[in-house]
Structures are given as structure tokens and as C-alpha cells.
Amino acid sequence: MSKDWDFDEIVDREDTASMKWEPSVLSAIFGKGKENLLPLWVADMDFKCPTVVRKAMEKRLEHQIYGYSLVDPSYFPALISWYQRRHQWEIDEKWIITTPGIVPAINYIVQRFSKPGDKIIIQPPVYYPFARAIQNNGRRILDNPLQIVGDHYQMDFADLEKKAKDPRAKMVILCSPHNPVGRVWTRKELEEFGNICIKNNLLIISDEIHCDLIMPGFKHICFPTISEAFAQNSITGLAASKTFNLAGLHQSSIIIPNAGLRQELSSQIENLGFTNSIGGTLFGAISAAAAYNGAESWLEDLIIYLHDNFMYLKTYIETQLPGAKVYDLQGTYLVWVDFRKIGLDCNKMTQILEKDANVALDHGNWFGENGAGFERFNIACPRSILIKAAESVVSAIKKHIGNHAGTN
């Protein structure tokens, strides 16, 4: 079969209301005068989605009536088949609740299964909407920081055991694969994590939105597949949005094998004005189904391309900037880079990246205090864009270090 995708193609995203590229957003986040930064920050891809997705939406568009709609009937069997063959997870259709996104769903879960003042465990440095979901709903963050051991991050199980015993701790949010550090947790790690949580009666929210973006040599384990106890004490978030670049279509699935938990969350969603039958979007369901059914080869090629992008970035940064460390990418397309040994404080590094390199990255301290000194690079872009950004970053840092050395 001939391939109709080209990940090297540069697609102009200006004037498309792209959150990642929109000048007004860049200005609001990074400051006045930063409207034209080269954006490697927001976690979407600068690649066209699979052609089968566009064709499926075009077919539905031709109908020209877009009234109130149920979830497209192709969606559930497509999702079930995908997770069975890709992740060996037999999902029952009745376990699925559709929502307009995993982050909104996490907020619904926090609201339903905890009370103001309760504590929720997260593992920083971690995706910052988790902290917002906790704090904005009047709950308290209980940090279980990841540890750097040798050349990788790992969970601190002794600390987790201690935090889990806190009588106000009610749930824990697992990021799997982990954003931003790029870890794919092993079965052994997930087992130890899950056993501690269950022993201490913590509800587990497992955000697995990046589960299809796994680099060669690694294997994602869906948390509920490990044991029936894990399945009955967890709520898992899944979506095609990261996998196939469909985030703007707002479709995700929350998987809850436990009937009691499922009924409670359904009630919460209905209280907010949604129902399980219309919890996503018309075109979100159609596009996801089309991708699950027809874009597997596109994804396989994407993973190879992303891995090559990673290898380029790691080699270039570590060769050009001795002291910088690019953590191995096991999953996601988000690369975690440690600049602490470069000798620049966080504010100075931010200034160099934004003012001199003219690049927009997610700064490490956004993910928690232990992210300070790090930067997150989104490598889901044509290699020419990545090369331009990397060369700008290296040049700006070298220039500053050289000038600074010359004044001493």
C-alpha cells in the first residue's frame, strides 16, 4: 500500500486558531513581544492527521445536518478492538464513559470522589493540569516526588507508602506514560504502586493518554490489566487525541470496570449537564473510530520518526552543551532536558530561551519545584523545525556562556 503521509512536510498553522502557534496565546503565556516564538511547547503535533480521518469527517460533513447526536456507533467497537490488539486489554463497552477530554474528566472525578480539604497524591515533576484540578476544586496536593536514580526517574515507594497513610489522602493520579519525564512504567513498578494504593484505600486515576506513543524496546502496561483488584479500584483515561493529533476534536473515554464507581461518575457528569450518550463530540467520535480502524501503519511510521527526532536532539544537545542531559525517551513525544549543570539559574535560562533563542518550551518549574532547571521539548514536528529550534537554543546558550566567561 502506498503511503500518503510525509512527516517532513511543513504545514503552516498560522490563522488556524492553534493554541500552540497563536501569537496572542504566546504573548499571554510568555510575555509581551513573544508573539513569534518558535513553539515546541503545547503537546500536539505539527503533522497532518491520517487521511482516513479526514475522509471519514468529509463523508459525515456531506450530510449537512449536524443536530444533536449520539456517540457514533463505530466508536465503541473501534476503541475496544484497538485496545485488545494493541494492549491486550479486553474492555467491556459498558465500562466506557465518553467525555470531552481527560482533564475535564479528572476534574469530575476529583469533585465526585473527594471533599474540600481532602488530599490527592501526584508524582512531580508532572503534567501541571493535575495540580490545577486539585487546587481549583478546593483539595490539597500531596506530593510524592519522582526520584532521579542514575540516568532515569523512578517512583519513591517508601515516600508513597508514607503519604498514602495520611487519613486525608483519598486518591492518587498516575501519569502513565509519564509526562514530562518520558518514563514507561514497568509491570513491577505498577504492581508495587497499585498494591500500596489499594492497601491504603486510595482511588487510582490512571491517565494513559500517551499509551500508544511508545518508543522501540518498551511496552506500555494498561494499569487495570494487571489484576482484578487494580481494575476495580481504578479509573483510566484514554483518548486517540495524542496518538493521531486530534486534540481539537475533544473526545476521550473514561474506563471504569467497577459498576459502583461508574454509576457515581455518570451521576456527576449528568449533574454538570452532560450524559454518557453525548459526552464527547460528533466528529471526535467519528475521527477516533476512523483512526483506530485505519491508521495503524501511520502510527507505526510516526513512532519511528519520533524516535529519530529524539536521537537527533539527544545527540546534538549533549554533544554541543557538555553538562546538559537529555533523559531517555521511553514514551510520549515530550523530551525532558536537564540544563542545571550549565550553570545558569532558571530565570536566566528562561530569558535566553525566549529572548535570544526565540523558542517557546514548557519550562520545568511549571511541572513542580523539582522541575526547576529542566525544559520540556515537544519533538512532534518536522525534523527541520526541530533542528532550527535546537540550533537556536544551543547557539544562544553558548553565546551567553562565552560572554559571561569573557567578563570574569
Task: Please indicate, yes or no, whether residues 287 and 305 belong to a single structural domain of this protein.
Answer: no
Q: Please say whether the beta carbons of 122 and 96 come within 8 A.
A: no
Domain containing residue 303: 296-406
Task: Please indicate, yes or no, whether residues 268 and 313 belong to a single structural domain of this protein.
Answer: no
Q: Please say whether the beta carbons of 390 and 316 come within 8 A.
A: yes
Among 268, 294, 320, the domain-final residue is 294
Among 294, 323, 351, the domain-final residue is 294
- Is residue 11 domain-resident? no
- Is residue 18 domain-resident? no
Mean pLDDT for the chain overall? 95
Specify the pLDDT at position 406: 46
Q: Residue 276 sits in a domain of what CATH number?
A: 3.40.640.10
Q: Residue 393 sits in a domain of what CATH number?
A: 3.90.1150.10
Number of domains composing the chain: 2
Give the mean pLDDT of 301-316: 98
- Is residue 43 domain-resident? no
What pTM value is reported for the model?
0.96
- Is residue 12 domain-resident? no
Task: Please indicate, yes or no, whether residues 263 and 308 belong to a single structural domain of this protein.
Answer: no
> pLDDT by residue (tens digit) across 326-385?
999 999 999 999 999 998 988 999 999 999 999 999 999 999 999 999 999 999 999 999
> pLDDT by residue (tens digit) across 238-297?
999 999 999 999 999 999 999 999 999 999 999 988 765 556 799 999 999 999 999 999
Specify the pLDDT at position 2: 75
Q: Which residues contact 143 (CB under 8 A, 6 or more apart)?
A: 121, 122, 123, 124, 163, 368
Task: Please indicate, yes or no, whether residues 88 and 230 belong to a single structural domain of this protein.
Answer: yes
3-state helix, strand, coil in the chain (%, to 5): 45, 15, 40
Among 234, 267, 294, the domain-final residue is 294
Task: Please indicate, yes or no, whether residues 376 and 270 belong to a single structural domain of this protein.
Answer: no
Task: Please indicate, yes or no, whether residues 252 and 345 belong to a single structural domain of this protein.
Answer: no
- Is residue 377 domain-resident? yes
Task: Please indicate, yes or no, whether residues 218 and 352 belong to a single structural domain of this protein.
Answer: no
Task: Please indicate, yes or no, whether residues 62 and 185 belong to a single structural domain of this protein.
Answer: yes
- Is residue 19 domain-resident? no
Alpha-helical regions (H) of 272-382: 282-294, 296-320, 346-351
- Is residue 41 domain-resident? no
- Is residue 282 domain-resident? yes
Q: Residue 73 carries which DSSP code?
A: T
